[in-house]
Amino acid sequence: MSIAVTTLDRQINDYLGILNVRQKKALLTVAKTFAEEQPENDYSDEFKAELDSRYEEYKNGGILISEAEANKRIRKIIKSKK
């Protein structure tokens, strides 16, 4: 654990001692909300399966294009839709 995190933990703990019950409940609600936010929950199961499929294809010799090539293809698609 880094010094910055340890300092933050200590500061949070110091404030807990001076909060009233209502304030502690509000803080708990906020903390639970942050704790429940997981990046993996942002993606649907279908999207995760698609990413897994593409990664497996890449590992089995699939092609990989550069960022520049991807941007070129994207611009071409966007231009064709106008």
Could you state, in order of their start, the residue ranges of all structural domains in the chain? 3-37, 41-81
- How many CA atoms within 13 Å lie on the side-chain side of 50? 5
pLDDT at 22: 96
Tokens for 24, please give them.
């502690």
| Contact call for residues 17 and 9 (beta carbons, < 8 A) | no
- How many CA atoms within 13 Å lie on the side-chain side of 75? 6
Would you place residue 41 in the very low, low, confident or very high pLDDT band (cuts 50, 70, 90)? low
Distance CA 22, CA 67 (A): 51
pLDDT at 6: 83
pLDDT at 19: 93
Would you place residue 35 in the very low, low, confident or very high pLDDT band (cuts 50, 70, 90)? confident
